[in-house]
A and B are shown apart, each in its own frame.
Chain A
Amino acid sequence: MNPLLAISDLSVTFATDRGQVQALDGVSLSLNAGETLAVVGESGSGKSVTALSIMGLLGDSGRVSDGSIEFDGEDLTKVSGQRLREIRGNQIAFIFQEPMSSLNPVLTIGTQVAEPIWLHHKKSWSEAFEQAGELLRRVAIPDAVNRLEDYPHQFSGGMRQRVMIAMALACQPKLIIADEPTTALDVTVQAQILSLLKNLTKEANSSLILITHDLGVVARYADNVAVMYGGRVIETASARELYKNPQHPYTEGLMASIPKLDGDPGSRLYTIEGQPPDLSNLPSGCSFNPRCPHAQDKCIMTKPTLSEVAPNHLRACFGYER
């Protein structure tokens, strides 16, 4: 089976005041239909840029300098702007981190949910509005039909994020990309939203890319995981395999540094020394080498590439003795 989405060797550069910054350096990912892929990594590791390049939303300063993004048999880096807009509206939907700023404050919720349906599905306005009510009910907004006339500020953060999910689902996309959809919300609401997202995508057999920095969220909701560091994917595997058997020193350190519920409270946590790298000034060779306890001479000279260490388990590291 061909994957629904296959990103290979994607490089993205941004033009900044201080010259070209390479935000992505040879990123490769793939995702099958109906699957949930979590992308994890520290702030600035390139998670959002990866998502934005799939959507073709890099803006004026960003540019795909190399690589391809195959979506359902089409290379999104090559298609026309017109075609990209079609795909964006119909087949790929995006859910942003900040549900407040993604809704227009002066339009009612009903109008905003109905509009894309009306636009893309050539339905009458009243039909679209009715369907909007149905969608809001599906995302579990209580008393949905009566709240169509409400404005965004009358909704709580969690409800706004539900609205965003409803809008994303409206056109039955094949792929939903959610960029930290619950970072701004409470844990209780986060659990509600993510379960909802997961169940609805499963029902529709859509795929989901879940961008997050919360390893607990990954463990609960993801099938596969890609770990990013300094603009590169450094390890990918199924969620179970990755947690049980992390193969990259960074992933291993990350797993060890979160307090476990069955861990020893009061003990010291494992720490990855040093700071996340600065993209405009990346170390040579493996960009993790200044923080890596296993770094060798080779790591400073050459960049490791992704290679298989177990079936479906790739890592970018020269290997080390544990």
Chain B
Amino acid sequence: MSDSNILEVKDLQVHFPVTEGLLKRQVGSIAAVNGVSFHIKRGETFSLVGESGCGKSTTALSVLKMQSVLDGQIIFDGEDITHHSPAQMRGIRRKMQMVYQDPFGSLNPRMKIGSIIGEPLRVHGMAGDKTRYHARIASLMKTVGLLEDMAERYPHEFSGGQRQRICIARALALDPKLIICDEPVSALDVSIQAQVVNLLMDLQERLGLTYLFIAHDLSVVRHISNRVAVMYLGKIVEEADRDTLFKSPKHPYTKALLAAVPEADPEVEAQRAEQLIIGEIPSLRSPPPGCTFHTRCAEAMPICKQQAPDCRTDGASSLVCHLYS
């Protein structure tokens, strides 16, 4: 692998058992992530988009090794971490941090803000002496736009946007190389979303961060990402750089997804022919045969029901569809 990649995921498989009855007998399994491959370059923002349940969060958790992986390979910062023990992962976790969707649930209500932000330092024995520790917390708070005297307050005294800033400060404490953001602005009000998106972009510029960004709001994704991968039922169906994907989407699912997102402009909307994607995402317990999207695809062909399409890739972009093979 080349040094320019901070993360490389190859053929990732994550399965969950399906259990039944009182005794929790295993009767099958679902492939929540089913052969996902991607790589993230240093300093870029790579986004995963798709409908809920398609495996975005599970992919993110596997990268953090918070989720056991059935098969595949995860290479982080030149190191194959697929089979790392929890002890080996401790060192790795310093370099990878996560920001969650729910800024209310991800802060311990009984800890003060300063203590929350400093927790990663204490966990990794990097707190140092008291003055250095407090200075570090103060500077982190300043970095994300919080006032220093807020350190003594509890999470419930803050609004959603401020809490997300606290989460970001905590993620920055260990100077990580990669930050995984799982729907970081979905729970925020529109006027607050813009503040957090700007903050993430500023931090990336100043600190040279790399983001794995998970979201379902495509306009935010387009604004912040360099490259985008679209997931459907546990697989990446199209991956391309931002402009290509948004200007000339190729995969029928990508097109449908883009069409479903209303643009905040009535004039544009009036001209847009409404093309609805039919039906809902099928159950992972019994995914359709062939191309898993064929039940909803407007361009499905007879072969799509029988044979799963291969992945065609040219290094910069990839596509999984019979129309392009």
**CB atoms of B260 and A187 under 8 A apart:** yes
Q: Give the size range of B's interface with the partner.
A: 35 or more
Question: Is B298 an interface residue when CB atoms closer than 8 A count as contact?
Answer: no
Docked Cα-Cα span, A257 to B194, in Å, equals: 6
Residues of A within 8 A of B262 (CB): 191, 214, 216-217, 219-221
Does chain B have a CB within 8 A of A200?
no
Residues of A within 8 A of B265 (CB): 219, 243, 260
Chain B 272-303, CB-CB to A under 8 Å as 1, else 0, gives: 00101111110000000000000000000000
Complex interface residues of chain B between 194 and 246 (CB less than 8 A to chain A) = 194-195, 197-198, 201-202, 216, 218-220, 222-224, 242-243, 246
B75 at the binding interface (Cβ < 8 Å): no
Does B193 count as interface, using CB distance less than 8 angstroms?
Answer: yes
B189 lies within 8 A of A186 (CB): no
Measured between alpha carbons, how far is A188 from B162 in the docked complex, in Å? Answer: 31
In chain B, positions 162-202 with a C-beta closer than 8 Å to chain A are 162, 189-195, 197-198, 201-202
A176 to chain B, nearest CB (A): 20
Question: What is the bound-complex CA distance between A221 and B270, given in angstroms?
Answer: 10
CB pair A42–B190 under 8 Å, yes or no, is yes
Closest Cβ of chain A to B146, distance in Å, is 13
Interface residues on A, range: 35 or more
* Contact (Cβ within 8 A) A219 B223: no
Q: Are B216 and A186 in contact (CB under 8 A)?
A: yes
Whether A219 touches B219, Cβ cut-off 8 Å, given contacts A187-B257, A254-B191, A275-B161, is no
Docked complex: A246-275 residues within 8 A CB-CB of B: 253-255, 257-261, 263, 265-266, 268-273, 275
Residues 248 to 276 of chain B near chain A (Cβ within 8 Å): 256-257, 259-269, 274, 276
Does B51 count as interface, using CB distance less than 8 angstroms?
yes
Tell me if A20 counts as interface (CB < 8 A to partner B).
Answer: no
Contact A195 B264 (CB under 8 A): no
Q: Which listed residue, A189, A220, A271, A276, touches B159 by the CB 8 Å rule?
A: A276
Flag whether B52 is at the interface (Cβ < 8 A).
Answer: yes
* Complex Cα spacing A270 to B194, Å: 7
| Residue among A142, A221, A258, A268 making CB contact with B190, cutoff 8 Å | A258
A298 at the interface (CB under 8 A from B): no
Q: B242 CB to closest chain A CB, in angstroms?
A: 6
Closest CB pairs A-B (n = 9): A216-B262, A259-B223, A257-B194, A220-B262, A269-B194, A191-B260, A215-B264, A186-B51, A272-B191
CA distance A244 to B201 in the complex (A): 28
List of B residues within 8 angstroms of A219 by Cβ: 262-266, 268-269
A263 touches B277 (CB 8 A): no
Given contacts A214-B262, A261-B263, A275-B159, contact A191 B190 (CB under 8 A): no
